[in-house]
Amino acid sequence: MHREATLVAYRAFSDVAGKGAFFLVTVLAARLLSARGFGIFSLGTTLGWLTAVVSDFGIQLHLAREVARRPAEAGALLGSWLRARVWTSAAVFAVVALGLAATGFGDPYGAALILLVLVYIISGLVELLYYFYRGLSRSDIESTLTLWQRFGMLVIAGVVLAWRPEVTTLAVAMLVPAVLTLAYSLRLASKMAHGGRGGNGPPRSPFPTRQVFTRDVMPIGLGIVLSAMYFRVDVFLIEGWRGTEAVAQYNAVFRLVEALRLFPAAVLAVALPSLCRAIDVRPLVRVSALVTGFAMVVSLALWVAAGWLVPFVYGAAYSGAVPAFRILLVSFPLMSLNYALTHQLVGWNGHRAFAALAGAALLFNVAINARLIPTMSIAGAAWATLWTEALLTIGCVAALRLTPLGPGAEPLAATVA
């Protein structure tokens, strides 16, 4: 228990510090780039994040779950899924790059968009290795590497923005620490996979079979991709209906809420192995109570302070985003609760239900955004986020009642009937 508490504390610290560093980069970009440049930065980081999610397609969460259950086979599992992830990353990046080139989207900022996507592709490979560490209950390694990468990015990006405040040079500054972190983490993971004997790479293993991918990974991937789309599709809808400047306003306050998710993310990173091995709901109840209680307290405090906080952080030009920020704060406790519920659902092999719920959430979110953004602008997008999170909470609770409590166990509904 003491070790878990220490890991959570260290993970929370590294997440707060690491995401805080990225948040500072975002603030510097908002203040030093032109409104158009920051809008492109917002679109590029969102597109890059979605690209990384699609290229992963559930691989990293499946890897962490299987490593947690079968630590003796950790090296073989890493070797198989790392190869698969490299191929999917290359394929998705090629498709996105060709799509941007063919449509001319972002000109004269096409190079910046491509570089930002590449930043997230490289970071996605790093994230896969982080999930390998999580499965082995070594989230401390992830925490340390996160600190080095994010603070390196902050220093380089700060220097670049002071020297030449352009979105393309900022993208290059973000790419350098991501590449260096990947190189070091590959070497470290290889050593762990070889049992501390070193080596030239993770043990070569058979490429994952189509059956394994279809049965175990693809439903997780569908759920994660659909979740990512409903979570950030509003940025593209705002761009279409309200323009790039509105995207900049919404992205600025959304980043504040996203930063608040650091603590729930830290708790789930440490708790993931225990959730995957759980045979009752007690671990889920403890984790859910912790992250949701934290979210409620923080949301209330920031809701009161929103009127001065947003202009203080971003400048007076962003005061119009305060109402949207307050609505997003109301949705934050549900986001935190859903973080725990969806992890438990996947941990108990309920990945097909997870995919179905994410698909329903996406359709629901787009429908509400289509109704609210044209009339309410970014406040409408915030309301759509709140109601979508509420729908997901209801769906997860219902799905967990029908999901076996671990291998060979009865569904929750049967235990409480």
pLDDT digits (tens, 9 = 90+) for 131-152: 888 888 787 888 888 889 888 9
Q: Is the pLDDT of residue 383 over 60?
A: yes
| Residue 363 reports pLDDT greater than 50 | yes
pLDDT of residue 174: 92
Instruction: Write the pLDDT tens digit of every residue in 86-129.
Output: 998 999 888 888 887 777 655 667 788 889 999 999 999 999 99
What are the boundaries of each domain within the chain?
1-208, 236-417
List Cα–Cα distances, 43 to 106, 203, 318, in angstroms.
Answer: 9, 38, 18
pLDDT in tens, 183-222: 999 888 888 876 655 555 555 555 566 666 666 677 777 7
Cis peptide leading into residue 273 (ω within 30°): no
* Cα–Cα distance measured from residue 351 to residue 135, given in angstroms and rounded to the nearest whole number: 18
Token couple for 27? 């603030």
Contact 74, 135 (CB under 8 A): yes
Distance CA 161, CA 25 (A): 9
Q: Burial of 76 by CB count in 10 Å (0-12 exposed, 13-18 middle, 19+ buried)?
A: middle
Categorize the per-residue pLDDT at 416 as very low, low, confident or very high, splitting at 50, 70 and 90: very low
Answer with the residue of higher pLDDT: 194 or 334.
334
Mean pLDDT to the nearest integer, 159-177: 89
Checking if the pLDDT of 242 tops 80, the result is: no
Average pLDDT, the chain: 82
pLDDT of residue 105: 59
Is 24's pLDDT higher than 70? Answer: yes
